[in-house]
A and B are shown apart, each in its own frame.
Chain A
Amino acid sequence: MATTYQHQRRTLSPQRRPMATLRRNPASPFRHVDLVLLGCIATVNVIGALMVYSSTRGPTRPYDLSFLKKEIMFLIIGNLVMAGVAAVDYRRIRDFAPFIYGGTLLLLIGVLVPGIGSRAKGTQGWYQVGQFQLQPSEMAKLGLIIGFAAVAAQFRGDIDPRRLGVLLGVAGIPMALVMLQPDLGTTLVSAAVTFALLLVAGIKPRYIGVIALIGALGTAGVLSSGVLAQYQKDRLTTFVAQDSPTTQKHARNDAYNLEQAKRTIGSGGIAGKGVFNGPQTRLGNVPEQHTDFIFTAVGEELGFIGSATLLALLATIVWRVWRAAQLARDEFGTLVCAGIMAMFVFQIFENVGMTMGIMPITGIPLPFVSYGGSSTITSFVCMGLVLSIHMRRFS
Chain B
Amino acid sequence: MTSDSSHLRLGVLGIAALSLFGALFARLWFLQIVSGSSYQAVVSATSERTLILPAPRGRILDRNGIEMVVNRASVLVSVDTVALAKMTEDRRTRLLDRLATEITRSTPGKPATTVAFLKRRLNDQRFSHLSPVPVLEDAPKDLEILLRERADEFPAVTAGRKTVRSYPYHQLAAHVLGYVGALSDTDWARLQKQNLADKPYVQTDEIGKSGVEARYETYLRGRPGQIVYEVDARGRPVREMTAKRIAPQPGDDVYLSLDAKLQFKTEVALQVSLKRAQAIHSTNGYRVNATAGGSVVIDPRNGQVLAMASFPTYDPSTLVGGISQEDWLKLTDPSAKVLTNRAIQEAYPPGSTFKLASTYAGLRLGLITPDTVVADPGYFIIPGCTGPPAGCRKNSPSLNGGGLGNVSLATALTKSSDVYFYKLGNDIWATHINGALPDDAMQQQVLALGFGAKTGIDLPSEVPGRVPTPAWLADFSRTINKDPAAAAANGRWQSGRSIDLAIGQGDMLASPLQIANAYAAFANGGKLYQPQVVSKITPYQKAGPLRPIPGPKVLRTIDWGPARDVMLTGFEGVTQPGTGGTASLVFKGFDLANFPVAGKTGTAQTGKDPVTNRNKDDNSLFVGFAPASNAQYVAMSMLEHAGAGAEAAAPSVRMIFEPIADGSLAAFQIPDGGLFNPDDIAKLTKVPLGQGGTD
Contacts and interface: CB of A to CB of B under 8 A. Distances in A.
B186 interface: no
Contacts of A280: 43, 47
A199 B14 CA distance: 12
Given A269-B32, A303-B32, A341 B230 contact: no
Given A196-B13, A285-B47, A269 B7 contact: no
Nearest to B47: A279
Given A279-B43, A345-B17, A353 B27 contact: yes
Contacts of B36: 266-270, 304
A342 B23 contact: no
B9 A269 contact: no
B233 A199 contact: no
B1 interface: yes
A326 B38 CA distance: 45
B33 interface: yes
A60 B239 contact: yes
Interface residues of B, number: 40
A59 B32 contact: no
A331 interface: yes
A338 B6 CA distance: 11
Contacts of A283: 47, 230-233, 238
Interface string B218-240: 00000000000011110000110
Interface string A357-368: 110000000000
A319 B16 CA distance: 12
A263 B43 contact: yes
B24 A349 contact: yes
A326 B7 contact: yes
A391 interface: no
Contact of A322 (B13, B23, B39, B47): B13
A157 interface: yes
Given A200-B9, A283-B233, A304 B32 contact: yes
Contacts of A308: 25, 28
B36 to A, nearest CB: 4
The prevalent SS among residues of B at the interface is helix
Contacts of A325: 10, 13
Nearest to B230: A279
Nearest to A342: B13
A267 B40 CA distance: 4
Interface string A321-332: 010011011110
Nearest to A285: B233
Interface string B1-38: 10101110110111011001101110111011101111
A157 B21 contact: no
Contacts of A315: 17, 21
Contacts of B7: 326
Given A60-B239, A285-B47, A304-B32, A199 B9 contact: yes
A352 B24 contact: yes
Given A266-B35, A304-B29, A345 B16 contact: yes
Given A59-B230, A266-B40, A269-B37, A341 B1 contact: no
A59 B233 CA distance: 13
B42 interface: yes
Given A262-B39, A328-B1, A341 B13 contact: yes
Nearest to A303: B32
B48 interface: yes
A172 interface: no
Nearest to B42: A263
B242 to A, nearest CB: 12
A331 B9 CA distance: 13
B47 A200 contact: no
A318 interface: yes
B43 A311 contact: no
Given A59-B230, A280-B43, A283-B47, A311 B17 contact: no
Contact of B32 (A284, A307, A322): A307
Question: Which of B1, B3, B23, B36 has the most chain A CB atoms closer than 10 A to its own CB?
Answer: B1
Contact of B9 (A60, A202, A314): A202
A352 B23 CA distance: 10
Contacts of B24: 311, 348-349, 352-353, 356, 358
A62 B31 CA distance: 33
A304 B33 contact: yes
Closest 5 CB pairs of A and B: A266-B39, A269-B36, A267-B43, A279-B47, A304-B32
Interface of B: 1, 3, 5-7, 9-10, 12-14, 16-17, 20-21, 23-25, 27-29, 31-33, 35-40, 42-44, 47-48, 230-233, 238-239
Interface of A: 59-60, 157, 196, 199-200, 202, 262-270, 279-280, 282-285, 299, 303-304, 307-308, 311, 314-315, 318-319, 322, 325-326, 328-331, 333-334, 338, 341-342, 345, 348-349, 352-353, 356-358
18 contacts: A199-B12, A202-B9, A265-B39, A266-B39, A266-B40, A267-B42, A279-B43, A283-B47, A283-B238, A303-B32, A304-B33, A307-B28, A334-B1, A341-B13, A345-B21, A349-B21, A352-B24, A356-B24
